[in-house]
Amino acid sequence: MTDHTGCISRRGVLGIFAATAVVAAPTYSNAFGFLRGAGDVRRIRMYSGRTGESLDTIYWLDGEYIPEAMTEINHFMRDWRTDQAVRFDARTIDIAAASHRLMDVSEPYMMLSGYRSPQTNAMLRSRSGGVAKNSLHMKGQAADLRLTSRSVSQMFKAASACSAGGVGKYSRSNFVHMDCGPVRTWGG
């Protein structure tokens, strides 16, 4: 899966992705032909350095989201500054879970940002030019994630291979943005 430089090889990504395509977002009918109800299990593992909370849950089983797991995800992905939560878009969780499996890691993601209230987004925007005015974070459709065992480039490549939403590479800040908006990529 990795080449001699420690990067994920194209062949490795394609091979793993072919084997795990059923993990991608179920609402994206064009995302590599899903096998619904065929033993499909989706799991997400994350922790928050801001709150000290961890999440390790199976949230999709045999063609259906598990309501209790989705409630747990909604709470975990809340705006920690305001303690506000929304119904987080499961498609973003699907993209993160598919990317995680593509990278073949057991380490949980560090979640830097999930849902952001409009107030939090405005405050962050006043401090940084990299925060969008109409950020998908405010709709519960985006997550900023980090892994210590994989580079930003490796995470970016895995998320981009899903072709299921937006993927931003923030090398200087050491994280990857994943969202369920239109398919697009950016960053350096």
Predicted pLDDT of residue 133? 84
Contact 16, 10 (CB under 8 A): no
Using a 10 angstrom Cβ sphere, with 0-12 exposed, 13-18 middle and 19 or more buried, the burial of residue 162 is buried
pLDDT digits (tens, 9 = 90+) for 83-129: 999 999 999 999 999 999 999 999 999 999 999 999 999 998 888 77
Q: Which two tokens stand for residue 127?
A: 């401090």
Can you tell me the distance from the alpha carbon of 30 to that of 26, in angstroms, rounded to the nearest whole number? 9
pLDDT category at 28 given cuts 50, 70, 90 is very low
Topology given in CATH for the domain delimited by 10-187: Muramoyl-pentapeptide Carboxypeptidase; domain 2 (3.30.1380)
Domain locations in the chain? 10-187
DSSP 48: -
Q: What is the value of pTM for the model shown?
A: 0.79
Average pLDDT over the chain reads: 83
Contact 159, 186 (CB under 8 A): no
Contact 108, 97 (CB under 8 A): no
pLDDT category at 22 given cuts 50, 70, 90 is very low
pLDDT digits (tens, 9 = 90+) for 35-66: 344 457 899 999 998 999 999 999 999 889 99
Beta-carbon contacts of 11 under 8 Å, excluding residues fewer than 6 positions away, are: none
Question: Mean pLDDT lowest for which of 22-36, 38-52, 141-155?
Answer: 22-36
Predicted pLDDT of residue 120? 93
Predicted pLDDT of residue 62? 85
Predicted pLDDT of residue 134? 87
Rama region for 54: left / alpha / beta (φ>0; ψ in -120 to 50; rest): beta
Average pLDDT over residues 162-178: 95
Predicted pLDDT of residue 39? 58
